[in-house]
Amino acid sequence: MQSVGKAQPVVLPARHPGSETPSGLGLAKALGQNALATFPPEAFVEDMVTRRLFGRRRIILSRPAGIQHILIDNSANYRRTTPTMRMLLPLLGRGLLLSDGEDWKHQRRAVAPAFAPRTIPMVARHVAEASRALIGKLAAQRERPVDLRAEMQFLALDIAGRALFSFVIDRHAAELRELITLYGEHLGRPSLLDFLLPSILPSPRDFARRRFRRQWMSLIGRIIAERQGAAAATAPGDLFDLLSTETRPDRLTEQAATMITAGHETTAVALFWALYLVAISPEVQERIVEEVATLDLGPDSANDVLPKLLYTRAVVQETLRLYPPAFTLVRQARRADDAGGIAIPAGAIVFISPWVLHRHRRLWADPERFDPARFLPGVPSPDRFAYLPFGIGPRVCIGAQFALTEATLVLAGMVQTFHIERASAEPVVPVAIVTTQPDHPPLFRLRARRTR
């Protein structure tokens, strides 16, 4: 790695949204407004915290040995909860993310070739092409305040379209984003009945979710039909070529919905938080500049420069620690169990929360400190069950390397081109519904850097 100056860590405000934790009906309401408010202060110190919600035990588990037991050693004993399925099924269908058992194993084998290491050069090219287009557009705005949350959403969607379908997805982007935003802001929020009703009884909101699902899957189906109608390339040129070869035709739409939604939304929000942290951390931003100053981040070179972006990648990894897009994993115990010395009653709901784990005082030194040096080569790695931005075990996110490649290259390109700063000092508060979002779209100023 080239010699770069030492960046000073930035201490973030120690403001846990769960400082005044609700209970009972207030807890159910908080889950629909900001799930981070349901994590009490002691969850960031203790291995296990127990609460009750409508008579069912709710366990926030942060002991690494217990997490390993639940997610790997005895994962068959733990299933997704009814509220989770109610909220995610309309958006994702029964693709890889929400399938289970033998169906999941078959889908995982079918999807795996599309995310094999050999696809990274292709992904890097698509990322570089889309990034170059966005950077050109932003440069033309001449330092006017920019909503980087929205820009990262459209960029990630563009990259997903290029990588999955080999074409720029601009003509579908507005409708895709409108539907995803509608779902996240309204239908993706749990209601009281989502917790109280058994899975066989639909809630009033479920009927609206079903209407959404028909509209959403119809749109994905049209995009697939457009891709299938395009002239075939002489060799696989996108992930769709690899995906459609192994996936059952009746599951293709749901797999594509999973990849578009989960793939672009989580990466977009991670990129937003990375840019936010860089904007309030001048030393970190300048260290990225020194790393990328002489690098060619264009489509022909993007894959080759990835190994040189060690600090930039560390910034992304530290961002994922502080603001994990997937803020919690929720499982329900089928049978009573012992998870690393913690008793789990049958039917108990277990929360394994990256938001809590990544800020846990027993697992991290100065957990509120933004310090990318934690992830540099030569620094001891965190406990593998204390850092879960992509999950872990058999159901680890299959697109993890895709996401890291995308976020690292985009961040490098943005900082290489622009000095990034906040346009106002208004606090930005994380809000967790489907992913960890900012409570409002803050504006940024981008000033062109002088060519070195």
Q: Is residue 153 in a domain?
A: yes
The letter for the amino acid at 62 is S
Q: Is residue 366 in a domain?
A: yes
Q: Is residue 54 in a domain?
A: yes
Residue 206 CB neighbour total at 10 angstroms: 19
Q: Give the pLDDT confidence of 332-354 residue by residue, as tens digits.
A: 999 999 999 999 999 999 999 99
DSSP type of residue 168: -
Q: Is residue 1 in a domain?
A: no
For 312, list phi and psi in degrees, rounded to 5: -60, -40
What local confidence, expressed as pLDDT, does residue 232 receive?
52
Annotate 207-244 with b (16+ C-beta within 10 A) or e (fewer). Answer: eebeebbeebbebbeebbeebeeeeeeeebebbbbbbb
Give every residue of the chain whose pLDDT is below 50, as ranges. Answer: 1-5, 15, 233-236
Q: Give the pLDDT confidence of 182-209 residue by residue, as tens digits.
A: 887 788 888 878 877 888 888 888 999 9
State the distance between the two ends of the chain, measured CA to CA, in whole angstroms: 19
Three-state DSSP string of 317-350: HHHHHHCCCCCCEEEEECCCEEECCEEECCCCEE
Domain tally, the chain = 1
What local confidence, expressed as pLDDT, does residue 443 receive?
96
CATH code, domain carrying 340: 1.10.630.10
Q: What is the DSSP string of 46-87?
A: SSEEEEEETTEEEEEE--HHHHHIIIIITGGGEE--HHHHHH
Q: Is residue 311 in a domain?
A: yes
Look up the domain containing 226 and give its range: 10-448
Q: Is residue 5 in a domain?
A: no
Closest listed residue to residue 222, CA positions, set 165, 182, 154, 267: 165
Q: Is residue 216 in a domain?
A: yes
For 218, list phi and psi in degrees, rounded to 5: -65, -40
Distance CA 447, CA 406 (A): 23
What local confidence, expressed as pLDDT, does residue 1 receive?
36
Indicate yes or no: pTM above 0.95: no
What local confidence, expressed as pLDDT, does residue 4 receive?
44
Please report where in the chains the tokens 């965190």 appear, as a residue. Answer: 382
What local confidence, expressed as pLDDT, does residue 172 receive?
82
What local confidence, expressed as pLDDT, does residue 183 receive?
85
What local confidence, expressed as pLDDT, does residue 272 receive?
97
What local confidence, expressed as pLDDT, does residue 168 receive?
62
DSSP type of residue 37: G
Q: Is residue 181 in a domain?
A: yes
What local confidence, expressed as pLDDT, does residue 234 receive?
40
